[in-house]
Amino acid sequence: MKSITGSDFNYSPVYRQAIEILNISRHISNYLVQDLAALKQNGKEDQDIYFSGDIVQQSISLVPNILRAESEPFAEEKHKYAASVTRLTNLLYKNCERLELSNSNGKEFLRILRFELKKFRRLQRIWKLTL
């Protein structure tokens, strides 16, 4: 996926994994939107198209919350942002599950994203202990 450059070593593993999740989410969303954008036979749009945008938005929100948690001087504020990261991760995982039920050819790619989210959750547990 993304190669690690010298400047990436300044960031935590959680941050780098969040960037990876963001990139995967964007690619999956672009692929799914093409399948889900077509109107159904009854003339209505597929409601699952909104979940594809949600995974991108939630992935985008992970990165600044991680940076804020790492840069805050007070523990209470760090834990507030860490809780936000946890909440976003859970929402992201739930939306992946919802999209897997959609009528799209790209839903197999969501397994990749869920696998990366599982890795992220493991990193996140350790990260929260170090804040």
* Pairwise CA distance, residues 126 & 131, whole Å: 9
* 57-107 pLDDT per residue, tens: 999 999 999 999 999 999 999 999 999 999 999 999 999 998 888 878 777
Whole-Å CA distances, 116 to 4, 8, 48, 70, 71: 17, 18, 21, 21, 24
Q: What is the pLDDT of residue 65?
A: 97
Q: What is the pLDDT of residue 7?
A: 54
- Alpha-helical segments (H) within 1-131: 13-36, 49-71, 75-100, 110-130
CA 35 to chain centre: 20
* SS3 category, 120: helix
63 vs 39, higher pLDDT: 63
Q: What is the pLDDT of residue 10?
A: 80
pLDDT-derived band at 121, boundaries 50, 70, 90: very high
The pTM assigned to this predicted structure is: 0.85
